Structure formats: C-alpha cells, structure tokens
C-alpha cells in the first residue's frame, strides 16, 4: 500500500493506509473471482451497450454575416469586437 500511495503522491496516515489496503485487497479478491469465469465465447467490447453516433452529418452550409456575428457583442469597432486591452 505504501508503494501505491508513494506513486500517487499521497500522504496517508496509518489508519488510511490500513483502510485503503483492505479496499485494495477486496479488489484483488474480486479480480480472482472474475478470472474463474469462462470468457472464451465473449467478444471484446469497448462498451457494454451498442452506441450510435447521433451527431448530424458534417455538411457545409451558409455561415453568419459579419453583422450577424457582431450583433450580440457589447462593443464593436471597424468590423471587430472591441475589448479592453490586456497588456498595457
């Protein structure tokens, strides 16, 4: 547990080390149970549910005019958004 905590750069008290050590041991016991299962007929998956890309098709379309793009800006000057200077 100390090695894992060191790699994660965690400063743990002895009580925390004991609790996390128990949790880590429980995980390893569960992994041993999973190793007992026959998974030879199981297809490798990236996700358990079938996913479908629900985005719209990427098609070129008409963009905004300069006036439309600047319409909601608080200030504009010479066809650009006017903002306060950041470097003086």
- pTM for this prediction: 0.43
Q: Name the token pair of 49.
A: 């549910």
Instruction: Output the pLDDT for position 32.
Output: 93
- Residues in Cβ contact with 73 at an 8 Å cutoff, skipping those fewer than 6 apart: 81, 82
The model's pLDDT over 53-81, given as tens digits with 9 standing for 90+, comes to 888 888 999 999 999 999 989 999 999 99
Q: Domain coordinates of the chain in residue numbers? A: 1-34
């Amino acid at each position: 547990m100390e090695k894992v905590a060191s790699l994660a750069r965690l400063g743990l008290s002895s009580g925390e080390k004991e609790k996390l050590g128990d949790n880590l041991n429980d995980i390893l016991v569960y992994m041993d149970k999973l190793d007992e299962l026959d998974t030879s007929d199981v297809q490798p998956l990236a996700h358990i549910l079938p996913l479908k890309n629900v985005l719209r098709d990427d098609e070129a379309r008409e963009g905004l005019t300069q006036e439309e793009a600047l319409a909601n800006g608080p200030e504009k000057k010479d066809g650009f958004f006017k903002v306060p200077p950041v470097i003086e």
